[in-house]
Structure 1
Amino acid sequence: MPPVFSHGDLRLYLLNLLDEGPRHGYDIMQALSDRTGGTYTPSAGTIYPRLAKLEEEGLVTKRIDGRKTVYEITERGRAEVAARSGELEGIQADLADSVRLIADEVRGSMREAMKSLRADLAAAARAERDAPPQTEPTPDDARTRAREQLRRAEAGVNEFRAQVRTDLRTHVARGGDLAADAVDALIDRLDAAARELSRSLRDR
């Protein structure tokens, strides 16, 4: 996944946020996450060194307000933001494109995961239908086979859950976004798969 901010863009974007008003460190990190639709959630180790650099350059000052350190842009910092307003417009456009691309990527991953799950369920159903007839099972035999198939089903569901959870957590850890519509689509498809399974079980 490409970086959300190109080289030097984060520095300018931080100045732009402070140009809107004084902010403490956590507020800056939250604002970055909100403005990028969750595609970029920076760590303190990313933000504070850059704020310190801006302070060294005379573009930002800081003051202690209780337990918080509040950062405020200087006149020199405002002048740089004004002089580079065109670059800021480009950054905003790039961020909007990044949000759309990542949302599309997540939706595509969810579609592929659900397609694979449906294919596995259909294959299992076909295999069971095509299996040669068995002698009439005793109640104990039927329960034993049912428990065995239940264990297989649970193992498959757990494997699917673990894979999707790993993919989603890795995506977010890399700075990716989970757009609400993508998550809604995932939930809808899972509900649809559950209903399909319920119908299949009732028809047997």
Structure 2
Amino acid sequence: MTPPVFAHGNLRLYLLALLQERPRHGYELIQALAERFGGTYSPSAGTIYPRLSKLEEEGLVSKSTDGRKTVYEITAAGSAELDSRRHELDAIEDDLTDSVRRLADGVRAEVNDAMRSLRAELASAAREAKRAATSASASGGGAASGGSTNPHVESSRAVHEADIVLNEFRQQLRTDLRTHAHRGLVNSESVSVLKARLAQVRADVLATLAASE
């Protein structure tokens, strides 16, 4: 369904804006719209081509054939209409930017939730290791006389190192997401891949913990 930013007449105006940048065929217009909205909106051919035909009937665009592709180009009349409605286009662009920003915020929220869950598991393991180390020390079961390291101390140290790794990962990924969001490249597929990979990492870590029991 067409998103709210494309109220009546707004999609045709945005198509004119895309064609003013350069001539495009229909599929390129669909791709351009999907990229501008970070993958949150990808119109169908049944949405785009009727509007292009209407624009052609009104003399605002012209079309030519390039092999098997039909290329659309804005006309002087189309440019004139676009210039006269520039304030409307600016409003659409502002809404588009807000839409991409909301998507990026959603991705960051998903990352934060996943990281909090993994950190909670590691923190719980650290508390258990600390309690076990304290109990072992109280009962005289510390490091052996030969100088071997207490496994509970090693476990606590490993958890601390893992926490550092998680923080570094979170900061780097947030930077990457913000950079790509400004270019309109963050989409729902990115979120799905991220969630799947984080879930797999958590499962792998928990599997190593279970194997050590």
Q: TM-score, normalised by structure 1?
A: 0.60
Within 2, Cα distance between the matches of 1:56 and 1:179? 37
Structure 2, unpaired ranges of 5+:
125-185
Look up the match of 1:6: 6
Give the match for residue 198 of structure 2. Answer: 189
**Structure 1 residues 86 and 99: CA distance shift in structure 2, 3 A:** same
What SS does structure 2 have at the residue aligned with 1:194? helix
Contact 2:2 2:43 in 1 (8 A): no
1:70 corresponds in structure 2 to 71
Cα shift readout 1:52-99 (whole Å, capped 9, x = no counterpart): 111111111112221111111111100011111122121111111101
2:164 alignment counterpart: none
CA RMSD after TM alignment = 3.2
Gapped runs of 5+ residues in structure 1? 123-175
What is the rounded CA distance, in whole Å, between the counterparts of 2:32 and 2:5 in structure 1? 15
3-state secondary structure, aligned to 2:188: coil
CA-to-aligned-CA distance 1:1-54 (integer Å, 9 cap, x gap): 981532122111100011112111111111111222222211111100110111
The SS at the match of 2:92 is helix
Tell me the amino acid that sits aligned with residue 11 of structure 1: R
* Paired position in structure 2 for 1:201: 210
Structure 2 CA distance for aligned equivalents of residues 93 and 12 of structure 1: 15
Equivalent AA in structure 1 for residue 187 of structure 2: D
Determine if contact 1:4/1:98 at 8 Å carries over to the other structure. no
Question: How far does residue 101 in structure 1 lie from its aligned partner after superposition?
Answer: 1.2
Q: What is the alpha-carbon distance in structure 2 between the residues aligned to residue 116 and residue 195 of structure 1?
A: 14
Residue 168 of structure 1 corresponds to which residue in structure 2?
none
Distance in 2 separating the partners of 1:48 and 1:72: 14
Q: How does 1:18-167 map to 2 (within 5 A)?
A: 18-108=19-109
SS in 1 for 2:6: coil
Distance 1:4 1:36, change over 3 A: farther
Mean alpha-carbon deviation: is it higher for 37-46 or for 101-110? 101-110
- Relative to 1, partners in 2 of residues 1:49 and 1:108: Cα closer, same or farther, differing over 3 Å? same
Please say which structure displays the higher CA radius of gyration. Answer: 2
Equivalences, count = 148
CA contact 2:114–2:198 (8 Å) conserved in 1: no
In structure 2, what is the Cα distance between the partners aligned to 1:41 and 1:115? 32
Equivalents in 2 of 1:113, 1:191: separation in Å?
A: 11
Deviates most, 18-27 or 100-109? 100-109
Q: Percent sequence identity over matched residues?
A: 53
The whole-number CA distance in structure 1 between the counterparts of 2:105 and 2:189 is: 9
What letter matches 2:11 in structure 1? L
